[in-house]
Structure 1
Amino acid sequence: MAESPPTSVNAAAGEPAGTTGPARNPWWDNARFVSATLIVVLHTVGSLMERVEVLHSYHIATWAFRVPAFVVLAGVFSHAGPLGTRHLRTLLQSIVLPALVFSLLYSLETYWLGAEFELHVVQLPWTLWFLMSLFFWRLLLPLVVQLRHPLLVTTLVALAVGYIDEFGMLYSASRTLVYLPLFYLGWRIGQGALDTWFAGRWSLPVAITGVLASFAVGAWWHRDVDDDWLSMRHAYTAADPWGLEWAWVIRLLVLASAAALVVCLLRLVPRRRLPVISAVGAAGFTIYLLHPLVILPFRERGWIERADTPAETAGLVVCAVLLALVLGSRPVRRLVRPLTRPPAGWLFAPAAPRPPQPERTSGRTPVRLP
């Protein structure tokens, strides 16, 4: 049986309430480290992809292990019960407030770099779309689990929204609905689904084959994969290879591949605590929030694009991995906690006191001692 998610977890963002404790499951932390580090590497070298074939190959080969894996992991730690006062306050403090804080920081940084100041609210910049989608996923999950066939219905919705132009980047509407099946899959995994897959010896060679197949596609056919198929941001177009009427088939294949590859990745990730990696992986959400602010000046100043030799490109990749390690370290995590989890006592009304509970008796007359 697969271990259940830790109880000391911020269910909204998938961040642990602490870094140690008997309820911690290093399996999830190790997986978060892999996904967060792959994301940081991509955003570091992304501006070089068009002229460096190996980087574009990396982009395609690891796509499912980055954002789709992060979506699934967020679902693992989500709460599908009624959204009571405590859960709603957690959503506001751990998702909405950090989204607004980091959107403002992004606006200030781009202004410092020479752009006009623009405050992003309905369309959050760069990686912050994930927080807006996460907020809606958490609101939708208690409704989704009430369906008779949740995975089927959410998949049909994900395929159908491609025909509706209004579902685009505003409020991260398109990505929210397209990735919803993967989020639900993550919740099911957190509830113990696929335990046989994760624990069985027979699944190990299958998982290895799946990961190798992803890298084979990245190596040989990466230029044949349209980035629009993977972005999940826009409606279908008539330019799709099979025409507008069959564009949903491409999205279905992409989503199915993503789900299969994520469970392959989770099968290969070690379940034991790993030095450094498990501790840093526990801060995967913090790494995700912070790294664009560090990378942006180097990208906008053109310093990253100056890398034009294999050695310099490899050096950038090493720097990206080191950046993930630093951002996920305990000192940085403590330093930025007011940003990643802003104090919100000033925002919330005092919690209503619980009404007194009636005293329960067994129906017998109590015996009074002298």
Structure 2
Amino acid sequence: MSVTTPLRVSARLPAGRDPFFDNAKFLAITLVVSGHLVEDLREVPAVHAAYFYVYLFHMPLFIVLSGYLSRNFTFSSGKARRLISALAVPYVIFELVYALPRLVLYGKLDISLLDPYYLTWFLMSLFLWRLSTPVWQQLRWPLAVAVALSLLSGTSRLPDELSMNRTLGLLPFYVLGLMLRPEHFEWLGQRRVRIAGAVTLAAGAVVALVVHARVKTEWIRWRHANDAIGVDDLTGSLVRLALLASGALLVAAFLAVTPSRRTWYSGLGMATMYAYLLHGLVVKVAERFYGDWAATLPGAAAVAACGVGLAALLCTGPVRRMTRWAVEPGTSWAFTRLRRPA
């Protein structure tokens, strides 16, 4: 069955594919793109509050879904090759691609494959999380261990290499995804839970509006140790624990209100990695041309709305065909032929 997007691009879902997860991924990527587009407009209080609110759960949502969809990962040759072609190779390509705007706009050329730049941290972290999947599936209390590692990571200034602060700090969301089962999502689809999810999202927005000015932005970026943000380890651990809990709650609420039926954007949700990796190039250029009109609530709202359109555009077929070489590069030539079991 095909569905047509407002961009008049046909998007076809493979038979048997659950549209719920594609819907969730597309809605999440619109938050990511819009959030990055308004990042330089946070002097507007309402925009800062919205930015703070969205950053509490938009990447945790992607990470939970990534964990759930990685439950069957093993070190078998086929899946290991997919890991390299889907994450490692695009990571190298986009580290180089994102070095070019820095060179043109700022006259700075700085390439370090071990120190992810801008959006590429997610590829690096997801690569490491997925490699660790078999380990978490052997532990008796995997989520407790992951939370402990997340809290401990805030007590030390970890190196930027391998995006260690984010990789360990956000690890519990990946492990949470690994622990989820189809029946958990069926429970979220119950009418009473959906209503509770909508109320929770609304309440979260109100709380964000009240507290956003009192919470340092670095907390929601998961990039620094406690002392670098200016607090002791006990306070920092409590803040991190609260962020993990609120992030998990908002992720559950968001998934509860996500449509489970096929929608016009279900097909686009299959290609969210395109929107994720490509939108940063647009953001870096757009930021250079923001005028005074953008630094207002109506202006920022217009920019955020453009983010929704941009996310949809970058998931369409023509864009995918033009950029597949970078986002989903063909790497079969680099591997030996798979041996079929006797």
* TM-score (norm. length: structure 2): 0.91
1:158-217 deviation digits (Å, cap 9, x = unpaired): 11111122x24321112111212111211222x325245313333123212210121011
Partner of 1:117: 109
Q: In the alignment, is residue 143 of structure 1 matched against residue 135 of structure 2? A: yes
Q: How many residues align?
A: 332
Partner of 1:296: 284
Partner of 1:187: 178
Identity %: 32
* Preserved contact between residue 168 and residue 234 of structure 1 (Cα < 8 Å): no
1:297-355 deviation digits (Å, cap 9, x = unpaired): 222x343666244433232122211111111112111221111011213322333x346
Q: Which moved more, 1:132-141 or 1:65-74?
A: 65-74
Partner of 1:237: 227
Distance 1:215 1:95, change over 3 A: same
Q: In the alignment, is residue 90 of structure 1 matched against residue 82 of structure 2? A: yes
Which has the larger helix fraction? 2
* Preserved contact between residue 107 and residue 120 of structure 1 (Cα < 8 Å): no
1:35-60 deviation digits (Å, cap 9, x = unpaired): 100111111111010x2111101112
**C-alpha distance in 2, partners of 1:268/1:308?**
31
Partner of 1:218: 208
**C-alpha distance in 2, partners of 1:141/1:307?**
43
The match for 1:108 among 74, 80, 100 is 100
**C-alpha distance in 1, partners of 2:292/2:330?**
39
Q: Flag the structure with more relative contact order, 1 or 2, with Cα contacts below 8 A and sequence separation at least 6.
A: 2
* Preserved contact between residue 238 and residue 244 of structure 1 (Cα < 8 Å): no
Q: Which amino acid aligns with 1:157?
A: L
The match for 1:337 among 318, 324, 328 is 324
Aligned to 1:129, the other structure's residue is in SS state: helix
Q: Which amino acid aligns with 1:282?
A: M
Which ranges of structure 1 fall in alignment gaps of 5 or more residues?
Answer: 1-17, 358-370
Aligned to 1:283, the other structure's residue is in SS state: helix
Partner of 2:199: 209
**C-alpha distance in 2, partners of 1:294/1:159?**
35
Distance 1:155 1:252, change over 3 A: same
**By how many angstroms is 1:80 displaced?**
4.0
The match for 2:334 among 336, 347, 366 is 347
Q: Which amino acid aligns with 2:172?
A: P
**C-alpha distance in 1, partners of 2:250/2:148?**
20
**C-alpha distance in 2, partners of 1:148/1:108?**
46
Partner of 1:46: 39
**C-alpha distance in 2, partners of 1:307/1:199?**
38
**C-alpha distance in 2, partners of 1:174/1:106?**
21
**C-alpha distance in 1, partners of 2:101/2:230?**
37
Greater C-alpha radius of gyration: 1
The match for 2:243 among 254, 265, 269 is 254
Partner of 1:9: none
Partner of 1:360: none
1:52-71 counterparts in 2 under 5 A?
Answer: 52-71=44-63
Q: Which amino acid aligns with 2:139?
A: L
Which ranges of structure 2 fall in alignment gaps of 5 or more residues?
Answer: 1-10
**C-alpha distance in 2, partners of 1:105/1:262?**
31
* TM-score (norm. length: structure 1): 0.84
Distance 1:226 1:102, change over 3 A: same
